[in-house]
Structure 1
Amino acid sequence: MENRGILAVTGGASGIGFEVARQWLNGGGKVLLLDMNVEALAGAVQVLGKDARGIQLDVTNRESVEEAFADISQTEGKLNGLVNCAGFARHARVDGLDDADFAKVLDVHLGGAMRVCQAAYPLLKLGSQQNETAAVVNVSSVAGINGTPGRGSYGTAKAGILGLTRTLAVEWGPDSVRVNAVGPGPTRTALVDELIGDQQIRVDPLTKRTPLGRMPVVEEVASPIVFLCSDKSSFVNGACLPIDGGLTIDGSWYD
């Protein structure tokens, strides 16, 4: 079995982040779940077993981030991968969006990814120096690629993640630390199911607009993330991989 090393996942106690951790473990690695929710962390670690460890982390708080990665430095000593998956959704049109809501979404998604990347960088360099993979995957979204009504703050944050990813790929490439992003479409997680229930996401128009004709499940989004974290993508750097069933490239509305 491949020895994948140590992967840290923000938002790792549930949803896509948890599935990334599960698949990484199944491939022979160890995982660190970073999440605000202490109860969810405990439950996730219990399910994943002895090669998983949970660490409470608030990505909007620099002190919390630095304490978490100081813990990792002392306990694990290095990282081979990082997945920035922490986030939440807030539906509002731009003309009704207030400053606080806009700032909050950007602080969690974009500011959080930046703070975590900064704190993880020394540990990722240590991983790469030992002839092992060192990779970052930032979770963006189709909303960061396309204009999406009602997602002004979310789409702006996710577009910013793409800019951050490309910059880090150039800055950190010489240290053999690869940085890539993924752009999933709406995925059947508990969070998205809540948005569907609130009619903030309408399934029928979405699936009709998607060439594959359906929404993805978490396993289908997690697998490409794991691939980008592994040595199997050793010369992929600065890319954004859409995981959207063709949603963002379908031009059949011209017909």
Structure 2
Amino acid sequence: MFTLPLNATYCVTGGTSGIGLEIARLLLQSSPPCRVLIVARRSKELEMTVAMLAQECEDPDRILGAIADVSTPSGRSAVSSAVNAAFDGVLTGLINNVGCNVRKQALEQTEGEYDAMVQTNMSSTYFLSKLLSPYLFKQAKEDVSNGSVVVNVSSMAGVYSSGTGAVYGMTKAAVNSLTRSLACEWSKFGVRVNCVAPWMTVTPMLEEAVKKDPSALDKVKEWTPMGRLALPEEAAGPVVFLCTKASGFMTGTVLNVDGGLGAQGFDGPCC
């Protein structure tokens, strides 16, 4: 059982499916009870997810939703307003989970696709962390023993070339670097900043990417020592661990969740 700080509050971007949904679910299952604000772009999916999680935790007051596109300044501003309204301007943890990818080689990637990935994967993490920092700092000041946390969801594509495209890998490598820098800068404020880098995980985004050729994942399984892909909850678990008291002396860490891939060295295609 995960042990969270008392009266903890969390904001999870991209929280309606895949890893983000499981992060929200695990936070709500942890103890003591916490409150979670999930952020998503699509109102229908958000409403359905909030209703589902409220039923699961048997307390509708513990789960809230905010409609926002965090790849845009206006969307991030909407998240800040939602956090302020929901949690009275105090935030225990920010989970930067949202991400997108268009799997193409660099010579085939369009400028529009490049911009979308940079803004969604990289800029949202940087600017949302800055925008919500006053709420995180306030929480850390009020609860010195536990502080507050930022957990970024990156990818093994930011550690090795994994065949998912240069732009995606570049943005995720930037998130890894940002994690280390913010960890050093924000430690004096009582904020821990860590990162989880999953290998390929069975999410709707991945299923859509290989829809035309599901057999493409057979090679991925061969390259992975554990011989399979991760389940969303297996990527979400380490994220929630980094929110708990058990990880209280960890900051600036990029935690690979990769089925042993990093231990043996990647043996797949460059692209």
Question: What secondary structure is seen at the aligned counterpart in 2 of 1:114?
Answer: helix
Task: Provide the secondary structure at the position in 2 that maps to 1:224.
Answer: helix
After TM superposition, the runs of 4+ consecutive aligned structure 1 residues lying more than 6 A away are none
| Equivalence for 2:226 | 212
- 1:248 CA displacement: 2.0
**Distance in 2 of aligned mates of 1:150 and 1:183:** 14
Task: Decide whether aligned partners of structure 1 residues 201 and 139 sit closer, same or farther in structure 2, where only a CA change above 3 A counts.
Answer: farther
Structure 1 gap segments, 5+ residues each: none
Structure 1 length as normaliser, TM-score?
0.94
Aligned to 1:60, the other structure's residue is in SS state coil
| Distance in 1 (alpha carbons) for counterparts of 2:128 and 2:215 | 29
Residue 21 (structure 2) pairs with residue 18 (structure 1): yes
| Partner residue, 1:43 | 48
Contact 1:4–1:24, Cα closer than 8 Å, also in 2: no
Structure 2: unaligned runs, 5 residues or longer: 55-59
Tell me the residue number matched to 1:79.
91
Partner of 2:236: 222
Structure 1 residue 196 displacement after superposition:
2.3
User: Cα 1:200–1:94, aligned 2, differ >3 Å: closer, same or farther?
Assistant: farther
* Residue identity in the other structure for 1:16: I
Residue-pair matches, total? 253
1:118 to 2:130 alignment: yes
What does the per-residue CA deviation read over 1:127-174, in whole Å, with 9 as the maximum and x for residues that have no partner? 111224410111110111101235111101100101111111111111
Q: Distance in 1 between matches of 2:164 and 2:237?
A: 29
Change (3 A) 1:201 1:169: farther
Alignment check: 8 A CA contact 1:187 1:217 kept: yes
CA contact (8 A) 1:195 1:201 kept: no
Measure, in 1, the Cα distance between the counterparts of 2:266 and 2:177: 28
Q: Distance in 2 between matches of 1:57 and 1:86?
A: 11
Distance 1:251 1:9, change over 3 A: closer
Query: Structure 1: how far apart are the matches of 2:44 and 2:186?
Result: 35
Identity of aligned residues (%): 30
The letter of the residue matching 1:84 is N
Deviation readout 1:51-108 (Å, 9 max, x if unpaired): 1000011112112212321232133121100111111121110111222211211111
SS at match of 1:186: coil
1:236 aligns with 2:247: no
**Equivalent residue in structure 1 for 2:119, among 107, 115, 127:** 107
- The CA deviation at 1:249 is 2.2
Distance in 2 (alpha carbons) for counterparts of 1:252 and 1:110: 24
Separation (CA, whole Å) in 2 of partners of 1:252 and 1:81: 32
Deviation string for 1:169-190 (max 9, x for gaps)?
1111110100011110110112
Does residue 30 of the first structure (1) align with residue 41 of the second (2)? no
The equivalent residue for 1:165 is 179
Paired with 1:122 and 1:228, the residues of 2 have a C-alpha distance of: 20
Note the aligned Cα RMSD (angstroms): 1.7
